[in-house]
Amino acid sequence: MMLIGRAVLVGSCLVTLAGCESMLSKQEDPLQLEVNDSNGRLTRVERLVDNEGLVNLMAQIDAVQKDVQTLRNDVETLQYRQQQADDRQRDLYLDIDQRLAAIEQASAELDVFEGGSLSPGQLPVPGGTDRANYQAAFELLKQGRYDQAAIALQQFLVAFPDSELSDNAQYWLAETYYVTQKYKEALPQFQVVIDRYPESRKIPDALLKIGYCNYELKKISAAESALQAVVADYPETTAARLASQRLDRIKSENL
């Protein structure tokens, strides 16, 4: 009996010790402790992410970033438009400066001969360009100062024989004689336009005036020949229309 009692007591002690060991293993196991800690941290993060205030803050940050990008685009657009405006303004200033310079130059050129007179061999704008002298001479012609215009145009042709304005200058030189009814002097000057400048746009007008000069000089046959040439060779020009009218006049006068 005593042996049985001892066995039971020993078994009970072993069971108790096993249970204690089991409890200590679960509570003090490092791996289990780390798992528990990770689970706790994960839970806290999930709660933080789910927090409504954080979500709203993220949304606001995203909206601000979009606004900033939009503002940057607007600023770049405004800068581009400003640059274009500056370029246009600069071009406008340059254009105005050039026009003012041209006006000032024209005024200075006019002052050279306005109210004065030219001597034979004198340019209206001494030292000026061919265009400046041509414009000055043409201005004299428009003012009805035909003698001065003739001097200016004659000297222009001497000073600038290769100018692209030479054919025009020659035509208007002839015109200064024609408008003052110096038909004998005008006739050979108009002929120079045809002979010396065969590609000139003034050819139809020069040929027309040759017809007119011959008409005024009572050289009717020569007049008709020149006028008919204008009509035949330059049919779509104002000169051709005027030539036809003068031919009709000649015809009516000879009836």
Q: What is the tens place of the pLDDT at every residue in 192-234? A: 999 999 999 999 999 999 999 999 999 999 999 999 999 999 9
Residue with the two structure tokens 């303004």: 89
Q: What is the mean pLDDT of the chain?
A: 81
Q: Write down the CATH number for the domain with range 166-255.
A: 1.25.40.10
Q: Counting beta carbons within 10 angstroms of the beta carbon of residue 104, is it exposed (0 to 12), middle (13 to 18) or buried (19 or more)?
A: exposed
Mapped onto helix, strand or coil, the DSSP state of residue 62 is: helix
Measured CA to CA in angstroms, residue 14 lies from 9, 27, 71, 126 at distances of 9, 20, 79, 137
* Contact present, 183 and 209 (Cβ < 8 Å): no
Is the pLDDT at 246 greater than 70, yes or no?
yes
Q: Is 23 left (phi over 0), alpha (psi -120 to 50) or beta?
A: alpha
Mapped onto helix, strand or coil, the DSSP state of residue 182 is: coil
Residue with the two structure tokens 């024989």: 161
Task: Locate 39 and state its tokens.
Answer: 């689970």
Q: How many CB atoms lie within 10 A of CB 166?
A: 19
Name the more confident of 99 and 169: 169
Q: Give start-end residues of each CATH 1.25.40.10 domain in the chain.
A: 166-255
Is the pLDDT at 128 greater than 80, yes or no?
yes
Q: How many CB atoms lie within 10 A of CB 83?
A: 10
Confidence of residue 134 (pLDDT cuts 50, 70, 90): very high
Confidence of residue 164 (pLDDT cuts 50, 70, 90): very high
Task: Locate 61 and state its tokens.
Answer: 């940050």
Q: Which of 185, 123, 112 is nearest to 152 (CA)?
A: 123
Q: What is the tens place of the pLDDT at every residue in 70-127? A: 888 888 787 888 887 777 767 765 667 566 555 445 554 444 455 566 777 788 898 8
Q: Which of 90, 111, 112 is nearest to 98 (CA)?
A: 90
Residue with the two structure tokens 């054919």: 167
What is the pTM (predicted TM-score) of this model? Answer: 0.57
Is the pLDDT at 50 greater than 50, yes or no?
yes
Residue 105, phi then psi, degrees to nearest 5: -65, -45
H/E element holding 124?
none
Q: How far apart are CA 94 and CA 100, in angstroms?
A: 10
Q: How many CB atoms lie within 10 A of CB 208?
A: 25
* Contact present, 123 and 152 (Cβ < 8 Å): yes
Q: How far apart are CA 17 and CA 36, in angstroms?
A: 26
Q: Give the rounded percent of residues in the chain with a pLDDT score beyond 70.
A: 72
